[in-house]
Amino acid sequence: MQRNQLAHPLYSVARFEGLFGALGWPHDNVCGLGAGALDTPPAFSAEAMDGWLEDIVCAAQATGAELRAYALAAHGSRRELSG
C-alpha cells in the first residue's frame, strides 16, 4: 500500500464505482436514457432531487479538499495525493 492511501474497508474502487453508478441512474432517467425513464412519477419532486444532488456534490467537494489537506500536511506535497 502506498503511504498516501487510506486503509479502510469502505474505501475501494468497487464502492466508488457503485456510487458513481448510483449517481448516473438519476441522470440517465432525467435525460430520458433509462428504460421507462418517465413512465412512472418520481418518488419526490425535481426540486427535492436537485437539493439532494447539491448536498452530495458539496460533501464530495469538502471530502476532496480534506484529502488534499491531509496529503499536504502528512507528506508536504500535493503530488503525494496523486500517487
pLDDT of 21-41, one tens digit each? 888 887 777 776 555 555 566
pTM score: 0.64
Q: Note whether residue 1 is domain-resident.
A: no
Mean of pLDDT over the chain: 77
Residue 72 has φ and ψ, to the nearest 5°, of -65, -45
Q: At residue 81, does pLDDT exceed 70?
A: no
Q: Note whether residue 45 is domain-resident.
A: yes
Q: Note whether residue 17 is domain-resident.
A: yes
Model confidence at 1, pLDDT cuts 50, 70, 90, reads: very low
Interatomic CA distance for residues 80 and 77, integer angstroms: 6
Whole domain around residue 34: which residue ranges? 13-82
Q: Note whether residue 8 is domain-resident.
A: no
Name the domain count of the chain: 1
